[in-house]
Amino acid sequence: MHGRPWLATVGLVVLALLAGGLSYLALTTTKTTSSPLPTPSATPGTSASSSPHASLTALTANAAAALALASPTQAWRASAGNCTTPTSSMVNFTSDGGAMWTAVSNPGLQVLGFAAASADGVTAIGLDASCRMRSTVTTDGGQTWSAATATRGVWALDPAKPTSTPNADSPSAQPSGPCQGGTVVAVDAVVAAQATDALLPATAYVVCSDGAVLRTTDGGATYVKQSTVPAAAAIATNSDGSTYLAVTGVAGCVGVSVQASGDDGSTWNPVSCVADATDLDPIALDAFGSTVMLRAGGTTYLSADDAASWFRSSG
């Protein structure tokens, strides 16, 4: 051994190379990225409408969660909370498609829904500390809130009155509610995109606990049953008539099935299955143009192609 020092030198070089290779491998295998879902299990089918969605702001209300897109990258969300302690409803805003959410001030409500006109202008609908339905508006991105002067047509679901008409001010509402005594699961009202509190929707969709999808074109005075989709949990509508449903318990989809309609909810086409999404409450859905956002089980998912494919945006 002493007569062959070159062998020792070669051995040290080999060991050094091996150590460097292992270090590199460790570094590269522990790196994480926010890439799209690895296997977006799309259900066969095409989008219900081949034309681009018209830009609009949709009022989305759910007893368990609230979600509203103000643009393809800007959105508002709120956790459920309770009306006895309204500030328990956490309000957040994102400007990057849900990758990061920033906490904003609570409007003094258990927030049940938003009408988002822009990143700065949004109306929040919910219950105050007396558990009465109220609307508040901000024009500075949630820094300050003031009482909305016009509440007619501002819709929300009252979790204490699940069979009632989901409208804060509807004098012509049906006594038994739109679901005829059944429970209202979700509502989406098409409203004009404004930075004020004058939100007066005429057309709205209601999802009932038996899967009935109802549509009103007169602000809730009358409803027409469009279709039945069992286990529909959330609904989102665009101004061109394109409508999306988030549905649980669909055969062949272990997560949340997203379905689309181009005929006012009369027929539904399975567009995709967000297999990574849990089908547990709360589930919320909203759309802006070709962008669709889904929140399920505390995780946010985003689609930029009419719900055809999804990526996990954030927790």
Question: How confident is the model at residue 34, as a pLDDT?
Answer: 30
Domain count, the chain: 1
pLDDT more than 90, % of the chain: 36
- Please report whether residue 9 resides in a domain: no
- Please report whether residue 256 resides in a domain: no
pLDDT in tens, 166-181: 654 454 455 567 888 7
- Please report whether residue 305 resides in a domain: no
For the whole model, what pTM was predicted?
A: 0.76
Give the range of the structural domain holding residue 118, as residue numbers without chain letter: 54-244+282-290
pLDDT in tens, 227-264: 999 999 999 988 667 899 999 999 999 999 999 999 99
pLDDT in tens, 70-127: 899 999 999 878 888 888 889 999 999 999 999 999 999 998 888 887 888 888 888 8
Position 269 pLDDT exceeds 70: yes
- Please report whether residue 96 resides in a domain: yes
CA distances from 69 to 28, 32, 290 (A): 36, 28, 11
Rounded Cα gap, residues 58 and 199, in angstroms: 11
Among 18-32, 56-70, 95-109, 126-140, which stretch is predicted with the lowest mean pLDDT?
18-32
Rounded Cα gap, residues 121 and 142, in angstroms: 8
Banded model confidence at residue 22, pLDDT cuts 50, 70, 90: very low
The rounded mean pLDDT for the chain is: 74
- Please report whether residue 110 resides in a domain: yes
Contact 81, 159 (CB under 8 A): no
More confident site: 294 or 200: 294
- Please report whether residue 79 resides in a domain: yes
More confident site: 156 or 26: 156
Position 46 pLDDT exceeds 70: no
- Please report whether residue 165 resides in a domain: yes
The residues near 139 (Cβ < 8 Å, ≥ 6 apart) are 120, 121, 195
More confident site: 36 or 81: 81
The residues near 199 (Cβ < 8 Å, ≥ 6 apart) are 59, 115, 123, 150, 153, 154, 191, 192
Question: How confident is the model at residue 17, as a pLDDT?
Answer: 38
- Chain centre to alpha carbon of residue 247: 13
Position 270 pLDDT exceeds 90: yes
Position 50 pLDDT exceeds 90: no
Banded model confidence at residue 154, pLDDT cuts 50, 70, 90: low
Which of 32-36, 109-113, 142-146 has the highest average model confidence (pLDDT)?
142-146
CA-based radius of gyration for the chain: 24
